[in-house]
Structure 1
Amino acid sequence: NNQVHEAMAIKDGKIVEVGPERQILNKYKCDEEIDAQGKDVYPGLTDAHGHLIAYAEQKLSADLVGSKSFEEIIVRCDKYRSHSNKKFIIGRGWDQSLWNEKELPTNEKLNAAFPSILVCLQRVDGHAVLVNDYLLKKAGITANTKIDGGEVVLKNGKPTGLLVDNAINLVQKYLPQFSHKDISEAILDIQYELFQYGITGVHEAGIENNEIAIFKKLIERDKLKINVYAMLLPTKKNREFASKHGKYRYKNLSIRSFKVYADGALGSRGALLKKPYSDANHSHGLLLTSVIEMKEITDFCLKNGYQMNTHGIGDSANALILDIYKKAYETNPDHRFRVEHAQVIDPLDFEKFAAFAVFPSVQPTHAVSDQRWVEARLGKKRLKGAYAYKSLLTQFGMLAIGTDFPVEQTNPFLTIHAAVERKNAENLPMDGFLKSEALSIEEVMYGMTKWAAFASFDENRFGTLTKGKQATFVIFENKIESNPIFQQNFSWKTFIRGKLVYASDEL
């Protein structure tokens, strides 16, 4: 109820009582007292849409984030190869909108620099890769190669090396896999990074069946403390897992949802639009999962008590998702099915979020990252339904808020700034991007605490500092504000289930 208390009593990892300081101190005797020194104490933050596995893989790959030109990418790849002594190059994070030419790349320079080793470079959003001819040949990809929900991009009748969305699957089996040991070590580094920001939970947005073991083993070793709500990709093995185990929980790992991709991303023009792209009038984007399969997954989720969380970027994809979710509402009004991103919505479709009780899951930093080029993709008229977080909140009454790391940074204070001021880390644009859709600080904090917990069926476990819930909380160094200075704020102390997991004064 947004009440502020002075003190909190904790026993066996749970909150016993909150109330006035004198009352709590007089009523309870304990082995340890924590003086917050007048600092604000909040429920631990949850990133409601992140990618721990993908971020771990990025840390093990050539880091292309922030590259200002393709020449810089070549330099970074060469450095990665020489330092790692690997006979392949896997990289992630390039974004052509940061380059002078702004166009999606072709692989001529890649072929010249690396003619005889496997090279696969993933775009920042994960929805396109650039590969060299060596890998194209190994995978048997030609100008005649077709795949549903994907595109082998051609130029002058020849593959350019750019593979969009489902076409990425054509090269996956030829790429070396990182070991579970290396991924596990990287995840623990990421966990520490998240603790510094007071993040105590992550909704892991899409994992393969064999990746469940990574989380379980880390928990068994008492290394992974963070709460993980993992969404399964709708593979055959994952469906078998759901049928066998039902709603699954192993300590701080919870699995009871599926992540489905309806379309791609705007940056690589894979997002599915009702009308063609304003800067590519031959294309509407891509449908990654057929309507028939999405309906089958909906039925499977309803039968097994699982949540369905569908990636929806374009207005056409979101319209399809909402109409499919209508059945979920009719079967179970408390289904809590989610639309991940809900990035571009036809104004006529907003009311369906309320009508069918569909939970919007949004990432405000996408809005301020995309503002440089999104009008070119959509045109001015379609922007009215884009990154419309206030409108979505008005419809459903709640938002699950995340970052989509590693597509964006893990820093939740950049999220606060983006959502409230509608500006990026450089404080641009000066007047804010689509400012009428801004949220209040309170709404953003709810989206990363109470509402995020509700979005994962964890409202009785954490999300508020309430009697009986987990003693999972953060003491922040400074007051929560939306100004740029606050973007550098860190946690003073972070606790999970009553145990200290991070303290800035113990670095």
Structure 2
Amino acid sequence: MSKLYKKLSLAVALVIGTSPVLADTLLIKNVKGYTLDESGEIVKFQAMAVDDGKIAGLNPDTTQQYDRTVDGGGKTLLPGMIDAHGHLLGLGSNLLEVDLRDTSSVQQAVSKVAEYALANPAGEWITGRGWNQELWSDRAYPRASDLDTKIDDRPVWLTRVDGHAGWANSRGLELAGIDKDTQSPKGGQIVKDEQGNPTGVLIDNAMGLLDKHIPETGNEQLNAQLDAAGEHLLSNGVTAMHDAGIPHSVYDFYLRRAVEQTLPVRIYAMISATDDQLETMLENGPIRDADDFLFINSVKAYGDGALGSRGAALLEPYSDAPHQKGLMVTQPEDFPDLFNQVINAGFQLNFHAIGDRANRLALDQFEATFKKHGGQSLRNRIEHAQVVAPSDLARFSSLQVLPSMQPTHATSDKNMAEDRIGEDRMEGAYAWQSLLKSGIAVPLGSDFPVELANPFYGIHAAVTRQDRDNNPVKGWYAHEALSLKQAFKGFTLDAAYAAHMEDSLGTLTPGKWADFIIVDQDIFSVKPEALWKTSVEQTWVAGEKVFEK
């Protein structure tokens, strides 16, 4: 056990053990409240009592004395939303760096980068995220030469929207030592032109060739990223999130912020399986603070790439690229040691798998590990589970492996997914309803900053299978849509269950934390196409208002 961990653990214990317990009662009245009971059925209420940060009761006696009373003005009150898969500091970084999400051409992207560079002359590197060539008219990968026309004196590194590819200028490639003779690493690709020269785009494991040259993020920058991300999430009604893959440096950073009691949202953190301190962090055991702002109890492992960059590992070749079948970021021969190590340590294993081959390999290994070592009760997960062979869908339920899914991925991918895999393979793609019917919970999230963090965008996409322009008219493969209750449960109770936190989060039932939001419309009475328009007016965590519009 590291000295730093011992010191921080002691500090956490001291803070929790010596914090004064202040009796504080709160009444929220005159609301149109909705929550779920423990079986997942809708419960309605008009008032809610809170005692010392936790729910004391629904529809309580409103005539008794409370320390604080808030009139909800007839507004709709819901549990705080839980995003079951996001990247917290990635979101913070995205909010503070150049954002290319809405660019419609490579020229517009370059212009935005140039504007950012002009406004930030002191930065050693120019970094950003969000480009997506599928939204550009030519749908072609960008090139280093595009960036060179505007910025050639500083290295530029821009991550694709899905985080599985990056775009560098020539200065960035030069600093990383990437040239014509550089070979693509296993599980990655250096995209090269007809003459064999690197174009500037690096896919999956090849990104590491450049990433390692970017200066390490300092504590000041980490604080700025966390604060920016927390503020953004709270404004969107997200009170808890599952952080999908943190290195040891962030592990220590979160512990420090937990000691200071300054974590802005509740974090269920997944340790990155590729971190060289993985064994040490596993030996430290699970960490859960008494106020439930930090729970470290899982490991994020990486199977394949993403569909948009053709990195998702498929059983058969891509329909629009017959010579490609995707990439395995972690090699199958390494699965047994990794799965056994994590599960034998008592940690939940959350495995990134997008393509049908990656999903099958993960399910096969979970099955083999369970037979030899047990661990099925850990609520292990497959993150994304986007394209699954139809014959493998029922295996999630039989193995009790949770498919952690992101509804807006479907509405973002609808313009390219069928091109990538063809109509036949769509039978097992984004198959939310099929998985639920098989008897397994489906926790929902956004994968921010890949997608926008607003959970009502996710609920809308889950229910309508449409984008926010109501396309396609009848929904995209609409038979896989969720009911509103199912989607609501995915962002609340099922997300809490997927983090072993249903004892304290996910519903507004007595004894759980009073994490709730007040929104501007009743999501259970508006038309489905209007769900995404829901705006958060107030966010409360542990009975304290932390955001007001």
TM-score interval, smaller chain: over 0.9
Match of 1:281 in 2: 322
2:361 to 320, 327, 338: 320
Closer, same or farther: CA 272–178 of 1 in aligned 2, 3 Å: same
Match of 1:134 in 2: 171
* 1:15 maps to 2:55: yes
Q: Look up the equivalent residue of 1:40 and give its one-letter code.
A: T
2:335 is paired with a residue whose SS is: helix
What TM-score does the superposition give when structure 2 sets the normalisation length?
0.87
2:253 to 208, 214, 222: 214
Match of 2:17 in 1: none
Instruction: Note if contact 1:420-1:482 (Cα within 8 Å) is conserved in structure 2.
Output: no
Alpha-carbon distance in structure 1 between the residues aligned to 2:326 and 2:55: 49
Deviation of the 1:482 alpha carbon: 5.5
Closer, same or farther: CA 431–268 of 1 in aligned 2, 3 Å: same
2:210 is paired with a residue whose SS is: helix
Q: Percent identity?
A: 37
Deviation of the 1:175 alpha carbon: 1.6
Match of 1:460 in 2: 503
Deviation of the 1:185 alpha carbon: 2.0
1:254 to 287, 295, 310: 295
Out of 49-58 and 177-186, give the one that drifted further: 177-186
Deviation of the 1:237 alpha carbon: 4.2
2:398 to 344, 355, 372: 355
* 1:419 maps to 2:419: no
Out of 218-227 and 416-425, give the one that drifted further: 218-227
Instruction: Note if contact 1:329-1:335 (Cα within 8 Å) is conserved in structure 2.
Output: no
Instruction: Note if contact 2:274-2:301 (Cα within 8 Å) is conserved in structure 1.
Output: no
Match of 1:81 in 2: 117
2:337 to 289, 293, 296: 296
Instruction: Note if contact 2:336-2:369 (Cα within 8 Å) is conserved in structure 1.
Output: no
1:4 is paired with a residue whose SS is: strand
2:368 is paired with a residue whose SS is: helix
Instruction: Note if contact 1:328-1:335 (Cα within 8 Å) is conserved in structure 2.
Output: no
Match of 1:340 in 2: 383
1:100 is paired with a residue whose SS is: coil
Deviations 1:323-366 (A, max 9, x none): 11113544133121111110001101111111111101110101
Alpha-carbon distance in structure 2 between the residues aligned to 1:8 and 1:116: 59
Q: Look up the equivalent residue of 1:11 and give its one-letter code.
A: D
Match of 1:229 in 2: 268
Query: How many residues matched?
Result: 500
Instruction: Note if contact 1:50-1:406 (Cα within 8 Å) is conserved in structure 2.
Output: yes
Alpha-carbon distance in structure 2 between the residues aligned to 1:109 and 1:477: 44
Deviation of the 1:39 alpha carbon: 2.7
> What are the within-5 Å matches in structure 2 for residues 141-160 of structure 1?
141-144=178-181, 145-156=183-194, 157-160=196-199
Match of 2:105 in 1: 69
Alpha-carbon distance in structure 1 between the residues aligned to 2:334 and 2:546: 42
Instruction: Note if contact 1:127-1:165 (Cα within 8 Å) is conserved in structure 2.
Output: yes
Alpha-carbon distance in structure 2 between the residues aligned to 1:88 and 1:13: 43
Q: Please provide the CA RMSD for this pair.
A: 1.8
Alpha-carbon distance in structure 2 between the residues aligned to 1:146 and 1:190: 34
* 1:171 maps to 2:210: yes
* 1:499 maps to 2:544: yes
1:378 is paired with a residue whose SS is: helix
Alpha-carbon distance in structure 2 between the residues aligned to 1:111 and 1:35: 57
Alpha-carbon distance in structure 2 between the residues aligned to 1:119 and 1:287: 27
Q: Look up the equivalent residue of 2:547 and give its one-letter code.
A: Y
Alpha-carbon distance in structure 2 between the residues aligned to 1:417 and 1:325: 32
Instruction: Note if contact 2:79-2:517 (Cα within 8 Å) is conserved in structure 1.
Output: yes
Q: Look up the equivalent residue of 1:114 and give its one-letter code.
A: I
What TM-score does the superposition give when structure 1 sets the normalisation length?
0.94
1:379 is paired with a residue whose SS is: helix
Segments of 5+ residues of structure 1 without an aligned counterpart are none
Instruction: Note if contact 1:50-1:403 (Cα within 8 Å) is conserved in structure 2.
Output: yes
Alpha-carbon distance in structure 1 between the residues aligned to 2:425 and 2:527: 28
Match of 2:8 in 1: none
Q: Look up the equivalent residue of 2:546 and give its one-letter code.
A: V
1:184 to 198, 223, 230: 223
Deviations 1:44-82 (A, max 9, x none): 110111111111122232221111111111111111111
Alpha-carbon distance in structure 2 between the residues aligned to 1:457 and 1:123: 32
1:206 is paired with a residue whose SS is: strand
1:113 is paired with a residue whose SS is: coil
Closer, same or farther: CA 329–335 of 1 in aligned 2, 3 Å: farther
Deviation of the 1:470 alpha carbon: 1.1
Match of 1:371 in 2: 414
Instruction: Note if contact 1:130-1:163 (Cα within 8 Å) is conserved in structure 2.
Output: yes
Alpha-carbon distance in structure 1 between the residues aligned to 2:471 and 2:306: 23
Alpha-carbon distance in structure 2 between the residues aligned to 1:315 and 1:244: 33
Closer, same or farther: CA 119–45 of 1 in aligned 2, 3 Å: same
Deviations 1:457-494 (A, max 9, x none): 00111111112111112222210146444423222322
Closer, same or farther: CA 218–148 of 1 in aligned 2, 3 Å: same
Instruction: Note if contact 1:203-1:229 (Cα within 8 Å) is conserved in structure 2.
Output: yes
Deviation of the 1:140 alpha carbon: 2.2
* 1:6 maps to 2:46: yes
Instruction: Note if contact 1:421-1:482 (Cα within 8 Å) is conserved in structure 2.
Output: no
1:142 is paired with a residue whose SS is: coil
Deviations 1:440-469 (A, max 9, x none): 110011001111000000011111111211
Instruction: Note if contact 1:57-1:178 (Cα within 8 Å) is conserved in structure 2.
Output: no
Instruction: Note if contact 2:95-2:229 (Cα within 8 Å) is conserved in structure 1.
Output: no
Closer, same or farther: CA 44–15 of 1 in aligned 2, 3 Å: same
* 1:98 maps to 2:139: no
Closer, same or farther: CA 163–482 of 1 in aligned 2, 3 Å: farther
Deviation of the 1:387 alpha carbon: 0.8
Q: Look up the equivalent residue of 2:163 and give its one-letter code.
A: G
1:56 to 92, 107, 111: 92
Instruction: Note if contact 2:273-2:302 (Cα within 8 Å) is conserved in structure 1.
Output: no
Alpha-carbon distance in structure 1 between the residues aligned to 2:284 and 2:65: 42
Alpha-carbon distance in structure 2 between the residues aligned to 1:398 and 1:160: 43
2:126 is paired with a residue whose SS is: strand
Instruction: Note if contact 2:283-2:345 (Cα within 8 Å) is conserved in structure 1.
Output: no
Deviation of the 1:89 alpha carbon: 1.8
Alpha-carbon distance in structure 1 between the residues aligned to 2:474 and 2:404: 25
1:231 is paired with a residue whose SS is: strand
Deviations 1:68-127 (A, max 9, x none): 111111111111111111243212110001111012223222233333321111111110
Match of 1:431 in 2: 474
2:243 is paired with a residue whose SS is: strand
Closer, same or farther: CA 487–173 of 1 in aligned 2, 3 Å: same
Instruction: Note if contact 1:194-1:410 (Cα within 8 Å) is conserved in structure 2.
Output: yes
Match of 2:310 in 1: 269
2:378 is paired with a residue whose SS is: coil
